[in-house]
Amino acid sequence: MGMPDKQMNFILKSFAEVLGWSYTPPKQEEPKKEESKKEETISSHTPKVTSEKLTDDLNELLRLGYSYFNDRKYTKAIKYLQKAGELGDSGAQNTVGYMHHNGMGTEQNYIEAIKWYKKSAEQNNSDAQNSLGYMYDLGLGTRQDYNEAVKWYRKSAELGNVFGQNNLGTMYQSGHGVQQNDKEAAKWFMKSAEQGNAEGQFALGNMYYNGIGVKQDYEKALECFKKAGEKENHVAIYMIGNIYKICFKNNKEAIKWYRKSAELGNADAECTLGDMYKDGIEFSQDYKEAVKWYRKSADKWNSNAQFNLGNMYRDGLGVKQDNKEAIKWYRMSSEQGHPMAKTELDKLLKK
């Protein structure tokens, strides 16, 4: 059975963001033709197609290739863009790599993707360098090689690519391919953040929030998270709520941000809203509303929400008391390693 469209679109969107591509779900889905568009590489102007005849005129090949790409006619697009790539255009080479990477207009082929990314990267295309680093980082189409990933991320980052900078920061943070160095990680996250990259802003916010690589500063963390939140980074918005609730003791402001994050589908925010309704924090205590938010979060496999929903069924709060339902949710939570779920599950199973 195929993956649901909504889940596939979410995965592709997240994947595209790592490589620096914007992603818009297709209005009418075609097999293996989910569209992603790279803002730095792909023209935002869609010329009218007047001819499909292949030519050696590079400008014409690019015009037709990107016209078909923007019209989501990927099978035709790749033919023209590949010819442009063979003529040495680094942007076309990078785009062809991405199309092979994602099976757009052709069968998905990581080895071909690497070949085209490398052609472009060797011409100092920073987007292709970042993408090539990503392939080595994850071991797609090649053996996993963190050293090689760092090499290409660094080339991209040093050319000012915000995604390369953020990914290089991540390597320093994890110690993959380089000696672990939080200060160096923070340096690269900051470079990415200063250019407006939401992932860099979020990563830098986490460094300030936890005092890792930089001096702990909740105000600076809040500033970073808010910048990332402006781009609908739902995790950053959730962290804004945490800062107001945990650090500034401002539940009213926290709830506003938790709700924004929850509306974007963040499971942690949904679970936290459930807690606040259950405990009557800034609301009248409302068990039914708590159950509603716990269920939203639990359906996204949030183990805390699953545990809390088990509690609500066990105690009959906001729902009809039902030990079978409680057992179901405790079991789900326990399977994800929740420290208390196994204990409560065992208690009910012994009854």
Buried b (16+ CB within 10 A) or exposed e, 233-261: bbbbbbbbbbbbbeeeeebebbbebbbbb
Does the pLDDT at position 74 exceed 90?
A: yes
Distance in angstroms (rounded) separating the CA atoms of residues 287 and 309: 11
What is the residue extent of each domain of the chain? 26-123, 197-264
State the average pLDDT over residues 185-194. Answer: 98
Q: What percent of the chain is predicted at pLDDT more than 70?
A: 85
Q: Is the pLDDT of residue 32 over 90?
A: no
pLDDT in tens, 202-224: 999 999 999 999 999 999 999 99
CATH number among 3.40.30.10, 3.90.45.10, 3.10.20.580, 1.25.40.10, domain 26-123:
1.25.40.10
Q: Which of 102, 126, 107, 145 is nearest to 16 (CA)?
A: 102
Partners of 23 in the β-ladder: 36
Task: For residue 55, give every residue at least 6 positions away whose Cβ sits within 8 Å of its Cβ, in sequence order, or none.
Answer: 61
Least confident of 133-137, 149-153, 282-286: 282-286
Q: Among 323, 337, 333, 248, which Cα is nearest to 294's?
A: 333
- Give the H or E element holding residue 2: none
Q: 56 pLDDT exceeds 80?
A: yes
Burial of residue 309 (number of CB atoms within 10 Å: 0-12, 13-18, 19+): buried
**Which whole number is the average pLDDT over 158-172?**
98
Q: Is the pLDDT of residue 124 over 90?
A: yes
| 3-state class (DSSP) for residue 40 | coil
Task: Go through 136-170 and write b for each residue having 16 or more CB atoms within 10 A of its CB, e for each that does not.
Answer: bbeeebeeeebebbbbbbbbbbeeebbbbbbbbbb
Average pLDDT over residues 44-55: 53
Q: Is the pLDDT of residue 29 over 70?
A: no
The conformation of residue 61, written as its DSSP 8-state character, comes to H
Q: What is the pLDDT of residue 17?
A: 57
Q: What is residue 41's predicted lDDT score, i.e. its pLDDT?
A: 38
Instruction: Give me the pLDDT at residue 219, please.
Output: 98
Mean pLDDT confidence for 91-95: 98
Q: Is the dihedral of CA 97, 101, 104, 107 positive or negative?
A: positive
Confidence at residue 216, expressed as pLDDT on a 0 to 100 scale: 98
Return mean pLDDT, the chain. Answer: 89
- For domain 197-264, the CATH class is mainly alpha
DSSP state of 42: S
Confidence of residue 22 (pLDDT cuts 50, 70, 90): very low
Would you list the DSSP string of 131-168? Answer: HHHHHHHHTSSS---HHHHHHHHHHHHHTT-HHHHHHH
Determine the pLDDT at residue 53. 62
Determine whether 64 is exposed, middle or buried from the number of CB atoms within 10 Å of its CB (0-12, 13-18, 19+): buried
Distance CA 163, CA 232 (A): 17
Q: How far apart are CA 2 and CA 283, in angstroms?
A: 42
Give the confidence band of 46 by pLDDT, cuts at 50, 70, 90. very low
DSSP state of 37: E
- Give the pLDDT mean for 150-178: 98
Q: Are 120 and 130 contacting, i.e. CB atoms less than 8 angstroms apart?
A: no
Cα end-to-end span (Å), the chain: 38
Distance CA(183)–CA(181), nearest Å, equals: 6
Q: In the predicted model, what is the mean pLDDT of residues 186-195?
A: 98
Report the distance separating Cα 65 and Cα 51, nearest Å: 11
**What confidence category does residue 252 fall into, taking pLDDT thresholds of 50, 70 and 90?**
very high
**326 and 334 Cβ atoms separated by less than 8 Å:** no
pLDDT on residue 283: 87
Question: What pLDDT is recorded for position 54?
Answer: 83
Percent of the chain with pLDDT over 90: 84
What's the mean pLDDT in 67-88? 97
| Domain pair 26-123 / 197-264, same fold | yes
Q: What is the pLDDT of residues 274-307, one digit of tens each?
A: 999 999 999 899 999 999 999 999 999 999 999 9
Task: Let me know: does 6 contact 23? Beta carbons within 8 Å.
Answer: no
Range 317-338 average pLDDT: 98
Report pLDDT for 351: 80
CB 295 within 8 A of CB 277: no
48 versus 113: the higher-pLDDT residue is: 113
Pick from 186, 117, 21: nearest CA to 109: 117
